[in-house]
Structure 1
């Protein structure tokens, strides 16, 4: 495997040598400001999924319920334990996918990659798998089937089912509210980018959060602009063009969105373009907008 994206045919030939995780969450569009309605994607997985895959619950099990915002990244040890329960372990590559646009697969990939797990995203998700004519399962017993170690893992005698997951945390993957405040004060250099669609960035549509708008001074690169109509990432040359110079930006690149999900799509695209040193503001606008003392700006870029 090369790069973090994997096509359906490539996944199909890997078979049981990888662990496949469906990361889908059903998140409804906001009908009014503050409307944050989301449910687990487990029911959809039970109805139809890639054979042998398991459902990974980003809404509950892979998020920190004590945080002040949805989908907060857990502490590494807690996350590692939850991933271990799903069958993630040393020596077994993980492929993530979802059924609605790829942002949930990107979020799970980001969490896995943060812990140093060899992880990939199924480009185009479940729709690409189906359109390739590959088999679909509704067997819930799939969730109990362990993935087989890869050939390299077997040669290194990595533990099989029930084996360990060793978290090798990668530094510099997250920023917090205080980092953004320091940036606004001119104390640090960075390029801050909002991954929401232009309407949400401008504050023209209802938001799931307390207030509309974007962090002053931040640019706008919609996550959806990086994928084609088929849900797959743009070809390499087009993708670099769509990134608008971010791949070669000399400053650190910080990305936020509404809740740290769409931002991971941009982070994934930058990794595909050869830039892995990107940080996500996990609390994003859900955390930022909840503090009335923090500034938000309306309108589109000039």
Structure 2
């Protein structure tokens, strides 16, 4: 059996030392980029490799491509291959943020054509709550060949700009409602959102324990916000293409596959003053 959206702690524990499984720790703090690796060194799931959001799951920034541009596909494939990920490997990603960063790894692997990847539901908190062990040992990779079969899961800024007039796809922003409205912006130089976008805060996908809500509830809520659009005509964005992946995972879990990612998201969009910005219900034209 392969896991393609979520996996629970019991299933992961049963395969902890399975040579066909690989675990990746994706813990991260946007305000302290070193915190995730420090937490990993203090204790992580046994056998887990560490993936840094900035260094491993993102590419170089140039000031115009957002805070977390997509990594080079071959370099990313080489990283996974060095950890032993091949076409038959079941990958599990976890974090301590309700899947906010683990979902980025989940999406990236699917972008490369590897669907046998899941997020640990509840993350490391659920693992510890069940009394399961941590380890400080850093695993040694057994290199494997990772073959890229890249999927069409991305739209560009030009696509989003053209969509302002054509409305060919539904754009949904995963940031918190206040940031979407242009309030309390601390990560990007400008506040607001892309005109025509709607808001679905990624944390609304989770219950009070930090686990994903039932698929039926997610399907009902996403169907409402899709407003008649087919899931394949939906594009997710956020601040930098990270938490948007959480909404994409939730849609897959809800049985609404096929949505795509605007990887540059708000941080790329607002880097060019010629692009229009919406705040609350108003739009600021260039």
User: TM-score by structure 2 length?
Assistant: 0.90
1:133 aligns with 2:114: no
Shift of the alpha carbon at 1:248? 6.9
Structure 2: distance between partners of 1:56 and 1:256:
22
Retained in 2: the 8 A contact 1:69–1:283? yes
* 78-87 or 49-58, which deviates more: 78-87
Q: Is 115-124 or 243-252 further displaced after alignment? A: 243-252
Aligned equivalents of 1:100 and 1:85: distance in 2?
A: 26
In structure 1, the gaps of 5 or more residues are 29-36, 147-160
The residue number in structure 2 matching 1:176 is: 156
Instruction: Please say if residues 40 and 57 of structure 1, whose CA atoms lie closer than 8 Å, have aligned partners that are also in contact.
Output: no
Q: CA deviation at 1:264?
A: 0.3
1:110-259 equivalences in 2 (<5 Å): 110-117=107-114, 118-139=116-137, 141=138, 143-144=139-140, 146=141, 161-171=142-152, 173-186=153-166, 189-245=168-224, 246=226, 249-250=229-230, 252-259=233-240
Tell me if the contact between 2:182 and 2:280 (Cα under 8 Å) persists in the aligned partners. yes
Q: Does 1:295 pair with 2:276?
A: yes
1:241 Cα deviation after fit: 2.5
- 1:274 aligned residue: 255
Q: How far has the Cα of 1:99 moved from its partner?
A: 1.7
Shift of 1:300: 6.2
Q: SS state of the match for residue 34, structure 2?
A: strand
Is the contact made by 2:219 and 2:256 (CA closer than 8 Å) also made in structure 1?
Answer: no
Distance in 2, Cα, partners of 1:243 & 1:185 = 24
C-alpha distance in 1 between matches for 2:227 and 2:150: 23
For 1:213 and 1:66, the matched residues in 2 are separated by 21
Taking a change above 3 Å as real, the CA distance of residues 192 and 98 of structure 1, as seen in their structure-2 partners, is: same
Choose the corresponding residue for 1:44, options 39, 43, 65: 39
Distance in 2, matches of 1:13 and 1:220, equals 38
Aligned CA distance change for structure 1 residues 82 and 162 (closer, same or farther; 3 Å): closer
Change (3 A) 1:112 1:3: closer
Alpha-carbon distance in structure 2 between the residues aligned to 1:135 and 1:292? 50
- The yes-or-no answer on 1:72 pairing with 2:69 is yes
Q: TM-score, normalised by structure 1?
A: 0.85
**Where do 4+ consecutive residues of structure 1 move more than 4 Å?**
none
1:24 shift after superposition: 1.5
Check the 8 A contact 1:70/1:259 in 2, yes or no: yes
